[in-house]
Amino acid sequence: MLNTIETYLALRRATGFAMSNAEYLLKSFAAFSVERGHAYVQTQTAIDWAALGPSVAQRDARLKAVCRARHIRVEDVRHELPPANHFGARKRRRPPHIYSGTEIGRLIEAAGRLRPQGGLRSLTYATLIALLAATGLRISEALKLTFADITSDGLLIRETKFRKTRLVPLHDTTSAGLQRYLKRRGPGSGDDPVFADTHGRPLRYIAVKETFDKAGRQSWHPANVGAAPSAA
């Protein structure tokens, strides 16, 4: 079964999908199946393996990972296709909040007040938030930026969501703000991350999210703005 899964993963990657999480899940399922002496996907085995997930949402995600590999049934009908909605989980998306220009300004100001105030950490987050707002980059794309990706024509975004590369032009004011940050940070080599922690390592998403949430709470604090905005 493992060879079948490897073939499926290679096919999906060839069409532009990363498949890193799917690879982990499907190989785990393959090992579980082999332990039971099964060389083909069996519905009950897939359900039993998926049921090992600690929550309904995770059990549902595990089973759906097997169901998405239904292409292998075309090659060999001995593979069974489990029911995708066996666990009955429903994913609910929170309505997005569209930040206004005023709100973005408050977020940047709040980031500039992060301790140590006036230090490189506060400037790093203020610049990061401003760049996201001005360019529409995904947070993952911004955190992967290196010095080599900053060109005279804009930002070179490598290996995007669909494993493509694109050039993002910068407005003069955005470029000037980024250059001020880089000058304050100091020289770096081509592979050095643009947005780094105190140890020079790329900022981690979880750290950025926690800091963003903190800046958000501070920016809506009555002492700073008078009243918090209503969600869009």
The 8-class DSSP code of residue 202 comes to: B
The 8-class DSSP code of residue 68 comes to: G
Residue 90 has a pLDDT of: 74
Does any domain span residue 210? Answer: yes
For residue 206, the domain's CATH number is 1.10.443.10
pLDDT band at 63 (very low <50, low <70, confident <90, very high): very high
Confirm if 61 and 84 have CB atoms less than 8 A apart: no
pLDDT band at 144 (very low <50, low <70, confident <90, very high): very high
Least reliable range by pLDDT among 53-57, 109-113, 123-127, 217-221 = 217-221
Query: Are residues 115 and 49 both part of a single domain?
Result: no
Query: Are residues 107 and 212 both part of a single domain?
Result: yes
Main-chain dihedrals φ then ψ at residue 190, nearest 5 degrees: -60, -35
Residue 164 has a pLDDT of: 78
Residue 128 has a pLDDT of: 96
Amino acid, single-letter form, for residue 5? I
Does any domain span residue 83? Answer: no
Query: Are residues 129 and 47 both part of a single domain?
Result: no
Mean pLDDT within 89-113: 87
pLDDT band at 232 (very low <50, low <70, confident <90, very high): very low
Q: With a cut of 70, say whether residue 213 has pLDDT above it.
A: yes
Residue 161 has a pLDDT of: 64
pTM greater than 0.75 (yes/no): no
Q: With a cut of 90, say whether residue 216 has pLDDT above it.
A: no
Residue 52 has a pLDDT of: 94
Q: With a cut of 50, say whether residue 229 has pLDDT above it.
A: no
Q: What angle do CA 225, 180, 122 make, to 5 degrees?
A: 40
Amino acid, single-letter form, for residue 58? Q
Residue range(s) defining the domain that contains residue 53: 2-75
In what helix (H) or strand (E) does residue 100 lie, and over which residues does it extend?
none
Does any domain span residue 173? Answer: yes
Does any domain span residue 87? Answer: no
Amino acid, single-letter form, for residue 149? D
**84: CB partners within 8 A, 6+ apart:** 63, 64, 67
pLDDT band at 227 (very low <50, low <70, confident <90, very high): very low
pLDDT band at 230 (very low <50, low <70, confident <90, very high): very low
Order of strands across the sheet that contains 150-151: 150-151, 154-157, 166-168
Of all residues in the chain, the percent with pLDDT exceeding 90 is 53
pLDDT, averaged across the chain = 86
The 8-class DSSP code of residue 200 comes to: S
Q: With a cut of 90, say whether residue 36 has pLDDT above it.
A: yes
Domain count across the chain: 2
The DSSP-derived string for 123-177 is HHHHHHHHHHHHH---HHHHHT-BGGGEETTEEEE-S-TTS--EEE---HHHHHH
More confident residue, 196 or 218: 196
The 8-class DSSP code of residue 40 comes to: S
Query: Are residues 109 and 217 both part of a single domain?
Result: yes
Task: Establish whether the linkage from the previous residue to 187 is cis, with ω within 30° of 0.
Answer: no
Confirm if 3 and 148 have CB atoms less than 8 A apart: no
Does any domain span residue 185? Answer: yes
Q: With a cut of 50, say whether residue 228 has pLDDT above it.
A: no
